[in-house]
Amino acid sequence: MTPFLRYAVFLSSGFCLVSLLILLIKTFAFGRRTNYAKHRGSAVRGVLYAFGRGMMPTEKESARRHLFTYSAGVTYHGGILAALVYLVLLLLEYELPAPLLSLFRLLLTLGFVAGFFLLLRRILLPAPRKLSCPDDFAANILVTAFVLLGAVHSQWESGLPLFFLTATAVFLYVPLGKIRHCVFFFYSRVLFGLFYGSRGVLPQEKKQEAA
Amino acid sequence: MREHGTTSQRMPLEGDAPLEGGAGRLTPEELRRSLQIFREKLSSDEVAYINSCVRCGLCADSCHYYLAEPQTECIPAYKLGLVTGVFKMYFGSVGKVFPRWMGARRLDRQTLEAWVDSLFGRCTLCGRCSLNCSVGLDVTRLIRLARSTLVSVGLVPRGLQSTVDTALQKGNNMGIPRQEWVETVEWLEQELRGELNDERARLPLDVQGARLLCTVNPREPMFFPLSIVAAGKILHAAGESWTFSSENYDVTNYGLFSGDDDAARVMAERLVESMERLGCETLVLAECGHGFNSNRWKGPQWLRKRYGFEVRSILEVVADYVREGRIKLDPSLNPDLVTLHDPCNLVRLGGVVEDQRYLLERSSLHFVEMVPNREKNFCCGGGGGQLSMSEFSERRLSAGKIKAEQIRATGARVVAAPCHNCIDQISELNKHYKLGVETKTVCEVVAAALVTEG
Ligand code: SF4
Ligand code: SF4
């Protein structure tokens, strides 16, 4: 069973990468508008800001106001990344040294808890629930299950077929639903940096009182 | 100049129907046309944004509409969803097959009505949600794209459309005839001379080869002539070579708000023509938030060319005078506590952040910041064309509550706002929320502190 599922993971991840590439090509096919206005600030500094300081709660009122949700989001994504790396290591049949394995256990467990919290938040709070469509719930459930099964395997070395099966499902779903933001997040963030950087809006050096 | 309602993408409805039921009168052909325009306006950036939103809802309380009225319809992501849903239905592979699963929606009459109500009626295009978005996606770009689509089927709220039409027909958004503008400038020149007690003081018109060409918001000659005198006083004190134009001087561009790119292009081009006709070096934009965004940033994009001249806000120019010692200020001449409102289009979307502070700190004895400020400021609620859409004025005043609270918290007597739209809205908030403040342009505060010879 496991060798078959191993191939399934490989194939689905290939499908995922190719589909995301096609999606990006299709996106670029819509064409970009040239910016003819003379820059006021630095686009490069804007992009660096977008991927650095600009993601911090110190800079973002929304993150400050929802510090718990923001932290859960960061932890969840950390857990997803850990699950992906863990999956690759398993596929390569790499024996993890004990301290590293403990680190993975921790990241995966925290990632699962954060993912589950975000799922509950989406179900229980009226505003996120009204904003959501089935795709949002499906994506969250699928990815949280993937992280959970990674955590289970890292703890008890059991449930490998299920972990591979969920990984396959995740890879198949990524380009179809909202998880595609794993690519478009970076695209949008670059645009954010280019926009505010070239207009000289960000980064701002002057400190201002937090709201 | 184009005729009333004939912007190339606009297909007016029979009898120019009022908003209610407007979309209900659309023919299938018009609906097809709206989808075509929606597709034409999409670029890769918008598509990337559409694919980025994770519907986390963290943008909710960055929007002044939601803070004033915490309901789903006011959440930026909800407004965004009205637009992204249409993309998913027609251009997303999964959304076409499983629309409910993906939150896709048809571009039908119901959607168009919802767009009018939410995207015109509950958004000032202030961009505060974009700054606070988990991803950083530009919500205003997608909302404006939908507004452009509404232009194509004549569903722009009447007041906003008529402001655009007046500007297209008459050359400025207040419909001021050329002769009246010239006479107003002459009359204000006399006022300036009287005030400065200096016969050399001028409000020059059509001076060929002047260094600066200054623009005005047509509301100034109509309702706020003193702000023109204030700017003239500063320019005179600095010994500047400058001029107004007797034609094509309007800094505003309501095509930015309505989403009508063709109209916006015509208006932006007019200022370029004035610059070329008079051979000036720098186009100086009056204190007008959206006028700054339109002419400094969007104009070159609408005209698809780099400008062969500088485009600056008058605030940048005046701040340079102070830095270079060309004008002297005495802050004791403004003893009241002054605060500053940051117009979204000038600051968060425009990049003019510090010069107005530099000026107010030097021209008033007590200057206090609102919290939050600069690019994180709250919209006053008057942007996005709201002041011209009377059907949404109740919402506009309610959405301005957070700005009113910010102003009250400063304890200021004077609110300096470098934008006439914002001044209008803050003046209404002043009455509605009983703030007891006076609103002024930054140049008015600076001019009051000017140390003049004699
Ligand atoms: S914060 Fe950004 S990603 Fe989250 S719902 Fe709002 S617009 Fe979408
Ligand atoms: S642009 Fe401003 S008004 Fe519009 S949804 Fe975003 S925060 Fe609200």
CATH of the domain at B364: 3.40.50
Residues B315 and B413 grouped into a single domain: no
Q: Does residue A40 fall inside a structural domain? A: no
Closest CA to B119 of B150, B163, B161, B164: B150
Q: What is the pLDDT of residue B405?
A: 98
Structure tokens at B369: 């910041």
Q: What is the pLDDT of residue B12?
A: 36
In the listed set B155, B188, B215, which residue is the last one of a domain according to the structure? B155
Distance of CA B70 to the CA centre of its chain: 25
Q: What is the pLDDT of residue B15?
A: 35
- Residue whose entry in the numeric block shows the structure tokens 């010994």: B239
CA-based nearest distance A68→chain B, Å: 11
Nearest to A184 among B51, B300, B373 (CB): B51
Q: CB B208: neighbour CB atoms within 10 A?
A: 9
**How far is Cα B223 from Cα A90, in angstroms, rounded to an integer?**
73
Q: What is the pLDDT of residue B24?
A: 87
pLDDT, average across residues B397-414: 98
**Residue span of the structural domain in which B64 resides:** 14-155
CA of B328: how far to CAs of B84, B325, B447, in Å?
Answer: 53, 7, 10
Q: CB A67: neighbour CB atoms within 10 A?
A: 11
- The structural domain count of chain A equals 1
| Strand B337-340, strand B310-313: pairing | unpaired
pLDDT band of residue A206 (cuts 50, 70, 90) is: low
Q: What is the pLDDT of residue B155?
A: 97
**How far is Cα B35 from Cα A49, in angstroms, rounded to an integer?**
36
Residues B269 and B401 grouped into a single domain: no
In the listed set B290, B323, B356, which residue is the last one of a domain according to the structure? B323
**A33 CB-contact burial (10 Å; exposed 0-12 / middle 13-18 / buried 19+):** exposed
Residues B169 and B318 grouped into a single domain: yes
**B398 CB-contact burial (10 Å; exposed 0-12 / middle 13-18 / buried 19+):** middle
Q: Does residue A205 fall inside a structural domain? A: yes
Query: B412 and B338 in contact (C-beta within 8 Å)?
Result: yes
Which of B22-36, B125-139, B156-170 comes out lowest in average pLDDT?
B22-36
Q: Does residue A165 fall inside a structural domain? A: yes
Residues B360 and B293 grouped into a single domain: no
CA-based nearest distance B98→chain A, Å: 10
Q: Does residue A37 fall inside a structural domain? A: no
Enumerate the residues of chain A whose CB falls inside 8 A of the CB of residue B42: 30
- Hey, is the C-beta of B137 within 8 angstroms of any chain A C-beta? yes
Q: Does residue A80 fall inside a structural domain? A: yes
- Residue whose entry in the numeric block shows the structure tokens 């919500």: B139
Residues B230 and B86 grouped into a single domain: no
The per-residue pLDDT for range B348-392, each reduced to its tens digit, is: 999 999 999 999 999 999 999 999 999 999 999 999 999 999 999
Query: ∠B283-B297-B344 over CA atoms, to 5°?
Result: 105
In the listed set B323, B339, B360, which residue is the last one of a domain according to the structure? B323
pLDDT band of residue B452 (cuts 50, 70, 90) is: confident
Query: ∠B359-B364-B367 over CA atoms, to 5°?
Result: 85
- Hey, is the C-beta of A199 within 8 angstroms of any chain B C-beta? yes
Q: CB A65: neighbour CB atoms within 10 A?
A: 16
Q: Does residue B8 fall inside a structural domain? A: no
Residues B151 and B257 grouped into a single domain: no
Order of strands across the sheet that contains B414-416: B366-368, B337-340, B414-416, B438-440
- Hey, is the C-beta of A207 within 8 angstroms of any chain B C-beta? no
The per-residue pLDDT for range B237-287, each reduced to its tens digit, is: 999 999 999 999 999 999 999 999 999 999 999 999 999 999 999 999 999
Residues B317 and B443 grouped into a single domain: no
pLDDT, average across residues B180-209: 96
pLDDT band of residue A207 (cuts 50, 70, 90) is: low
By C-alpha distance, the chain A residue nearest B96 is A176
Q: What is the pLDDT of residue A90?
A: 96
**How far is Cα A16 from Cα A175, in angstroms, rounded to an integer?**
6
Residues B299 and B352 grouped into a single domain: no
Q: Does residue B160 fall inside a structural domain? A: no
Q: Does residue B4 fall inside a structural domain? A: no
> Crossing angle for the helix pair A160-173 and A67-91, nearest 10 degrees?
110
Q: Mark which residues 191-250 of B lie under 8 Å from A by CB.
A: none
Q: Does residue B3 fall inside a structural domain? A: no
**How far is Cα B223 from Cα B173, in angstroms, rounded to an integer?**
13
Rounded percentage of chain B residues whose pLDDT exceeds 70: 95
pLDDT above 60: residue A139 = yes
**How far is Cα A209 from Cα B255, in angstroms, rounded to an integer?**
35
Residues B308 and B341 grouped into a single domain: no
Is this model's pTM higher than 0.80 or not?
yes
Average pLDDT for chain B: 94
pLDDT above 90: residue B17 = no
Residues B171 and B311 grouped into a single domain: yes
Structure tokens at B25: 């009168």
**Residue span of the structural domain in which A158 resides:** 2-7+46-54+62-210
Nearest to A176 among B47, B78, B94 (CB): B94
Distance of CA A133 to the CA centre of its chain: 19
Closest CA to B253 of B182, B350, B160: B160
Enumerate the residues of chain B whose CB falls inside 8 A of the CB of residue A187: 48, 52
- The structural domain count of chain B equals 3
C-beta atoms of B61 and A65 within 8 A:
yes
**Burial code of A78-109, b = ≥16 C-beta within 10 A, e = fewer?**
bbbebbbebbeebeeeeeeeeeebeebbebbb
Q: Does residue A128 fall inside a structural domain? A: yes
**How far is Cα B190 from Cα B225, in angstroms, rounded to an integer?**
12
C-beta atoms of B299 and A37 within 8 A:
yes
Query: B371 and B389 in contact (C-beta within 8 Å)?
Result: no
Residues B211 and B283 grouped into a single domain: yes
The per-residue pLDDT for range B198-228, each reduced to its tens digit, is: 999 999 999 999 999 999 999 999 999 999 9
Output the CA torsion sign for B129, B134, B139, B140: positive
**How far is Cα A51 from Cα B390, in angstroms, rounded to an integer?**
41
pLDDT above 90: residue B11 = no
> Crossing angle for the helix pair B139-152 and B76-91, nearest 10 degrees?
60
Does any ligand 2 atom lie closer than 6 A to the CB of residue B84? Answer: no
Q: Does residue A21 fall inside a structural domain? A: no
By C-alpha distance, the chain A residue nearest B305 is A36
Q: What number of H helices and E strands is found in chain B? A: 23, 8
| Kind plus residue range of the DSSP H or E element containing B339 | strand B337-340
| Kind plus residue range of the DSSP H or E element containing A113 | helix A98-124
Which residues make Cβ contacts (< 8 Å) with residue A52, sequence separation at least 6? none
Q: What is the pLDDT of residue A8?
A: 97
**B117 CB-contact burial (10 Å; exposed 0-12 / middle 13-18 / buried 19+):** middle
> Helix/strand/coil (H, E, C) string of A159-174?
CHHHHHHHHHHHHHHC
pLDDT band of residue A3 (cuts 50, 70, 90) is: confident
Query: B318 and B285 in contact (C-beta within 8 Å)?
Result: no
C-beta atoms of B376 and A30 within 8 A:
no
Q: How many CA atoms lie within 13 A of A58 on its CB side?
A: 8
Which residues make Cβ contacts (< 8 Å) with residue B319, sequence separation at least 6? B355, B356, B358, B359
Closest CA to B129 of B78, B62, B66, B65: B62
Q: Residue B93 is part of a domain; what is its CATH number?
A: 1.10.1060
The per-residue pLDDT for range A150-167, each reduced to its tens digit, is: 999 999 999 999 999 999
Residues B140 and B192 grouped into a single domain: no
By C-alpha distance, the chain A residue nearest B309 is A38
By C-alpha distance, the chain A residue nearest B94 is A176
Where is pLDDT greater, at B411 or B10? B411
Structure tokens at B448: 């009051």
Structure tokens at B137: 């996606």
Q: Does residue B197 fall inside a structural domain? A: yes
pLDDT, average across residues A186-199: 98
Query: B341 and B373 in contact (C-beta within 8 Å)?
Result: no
- Hey, is the C-beta of B77 within 8 angstroms of any chain A C-beta? yes
Q: Mark which residues 345-384 of B lie under 8 Å from A by CB.
A: 347-351, 353-354, 369, 371-376
pLDDT above 90: residue A125 = yes
Q: Does residue A34 fall inside a structural domain? A: no
